[in-house]
Amino acid sequence: MREIVKDNTCKDCVVKSSMIYILDDEEMEILCKNSIEILFQKGERIIKQGTFTQNIVFVKSGIIKLHLSGPMHKDEILKIEKGPLFVGVPDVFANKIHNHSVTALSDTAACFIDYTGYKYLVQNNGKFAHELIKTLSNSIINYYNHCVSKTQKQLAATFADALLYFSDYIFESNEFLIPITRVEFGEYIGTSRESVTKLIHDFAKDDIIGVNGKKINILNKKILQKISNAG
Partner DNA sequence: TAATTAATGTGAATAATCCCACAGATGAAT
Partner DNA sequence: ATTCATCTGTGGGATTATTCACATTAATTA
**CA-to-CA dists, residue 103 to 46, 172, 205, angstroms:** 5, 21, 32
C-alpha pair distances (Å), 5 with each of 1, 40, 111: 13, 11, 10
Q: Report how far residue 116's alpha carbon sits from residue 56's, in angstroms, rounded to the nearest whole number.
A: 9
Between 2 and 119, CB nearer to its own copies? 119
Residue 18 DSSP symbol: T
76 binds DNA (CB under 7 A): no
Would you say 136 or 183 has its CB closer to DNA? 183
| Least distance CB 4 / its own copies (angstroms) | 29
What is the closest distance, in whole angstroms, from the C-beta atom of residue 214 to its own copies in the complex? 25
Q: Which of 51, 137, 181, 192 binds its own copies (CB under 8 A)?
A: 137
Residue 156 CB coordination number (10 Å): 17
The answer to whether residues 128 and 56 touch, using CB atoms and an 8 Å cutoff, is no
CB of 95 to its own copies, least distance (A): 7
Please state whether beta strands 63-69 and 75-82 pair in parallel, antiparallel, or not at all (unpaired): antiparallel
Positions 64 through 103 that interact with its own copies (CB under 8 A) = 68, 70-72, 74, 76, 78, 89-95, 99-100
State which residue, 34 or 154, has the beta carbon closest to DNA. Answer: 154
Q: Is residue 154 within 8 Å of residue 199, measured between CB atoms?
A: no
Query: Among residue numbers 201 through 220, which ones bind DNA (CB under 7 A)?
Result: 201, 211, 213-214
Among 142, 154, 173, 229, binds DNA (CB under 7 A): 154
Distance CA 110, CA 85 (A): 10
Rule CB under 8 A: say whether 197 interacts with its own copies.
no
Cβ atoms of residues 88 and 53 within 8 Å? yes
Binding site for its own copies (CB under 8 A): 68, 70-72, 74, 76, 78, 89-95, 99-100, 119, 122-124, 126-127, 129-130, 132-134, 136-141, 143-145, 147-153, 190, 229, 231
